[in-house]
Amino acid sequence: MKAILSLALLTGACFLLLTNTRCKPVAPVKATTPLEQFLEGNKRFASMHPVHPHETKQRVAEIAAGQHPKVAVICCSDSRVPPELIFDQGLGDMFVVRTAGNLMGGLEIGSIEYAVEHLGVEYILVMGHKDCGAIKAFIEGGEVPGHINDIIQTIKAEQEISQMPMTDKQLINDYIRANILHGLHQLKQQSVIINDKVRSRQLQLVGACYDLDKGLVEIIRE
């Protein structure tokens, strides 16, 4: 009888322990860096649960006197790749430069230098995207009108691109990755301001690629 009673008490205690454990939700891991906050925002966007932060009248008033974004984003002008929506961010959260093929010249690099030197951004995100029209136009070749040819010639001149085999027309994703890596290399090689900040670990350069079908951003590493 005592054995049965002891077993019942032990079983009840285990049940209470398991019940209490189940009742306590596991706290989600909080994003600790601006980049992690962006990636968490992208997950919200991709799952169709954005929260649209910093879009209130109060936010407008808060940033009227000045901006303090922690992330600068260089990305394509493609209408399907708006970074504020993709990362579920709001007013004053990111400093954005957009060009076809996320290409950069003196003006674009100067704009990023301004964000680094005067706004104190901590991350520079160079973001390409799948099925990029600029990269596809370069791969396909042929005549292009007007200054669109400047875009093609700029891509053609990228060392990372020129090292890719032109015989395989199915490697568009590899060309896109090479283009993103070129942007990272270009910022360090052509900007003393950016390179010094990177070397002193005050600034991080990050490559990324946006998937048009999935809505997700993938970090690109060398």
- Structure-block tokens of residue 104: 């950069």
Query: In this predicted structure, what is the pLDDT of residue 10?
Result: 40
- Tens digits of residue pLDDT in 145-161: 999 999 999 999 999 99
Domains defined for the chain, CATH in brackets: 34-220 (3.40.1050.10)
- Tens digits of residue pLDDT in 90-141: 999 999 999 999 999 999 999 999 999 999 999 999 999 999 999 999 988 8
Query: In this predicted structure, what is the pLDDT of residue 31?
Result: 64
Q: How far apart, in whole angstroms, are the C-alpha atoms of residue 153 and residue 155?
A: 5
Query: In this predicted structure, what is the pLDDT of residue 32?
Result: 87
Angle between helices 133-140 and 172-190 (to 10 degrees): 110
For every residue of 144-194, DSSP letters joined together read: --TTHHHHHHHHHH-HHHHTS-TT-TT-HHHHHHHHHHHHHHHHHHH-HHH
Q: Which stretches of 47-171 are DSSP H helices?
A: 57-63, 83-86, 106-118, 133-140, 148-157, 159-162
- Residue 30: pLDDT band (50, 70, 90) is low
Q: Which DSSP state fits 218?
A: E
- Residue 15: pLDDT band (50, 70, 90) is very low
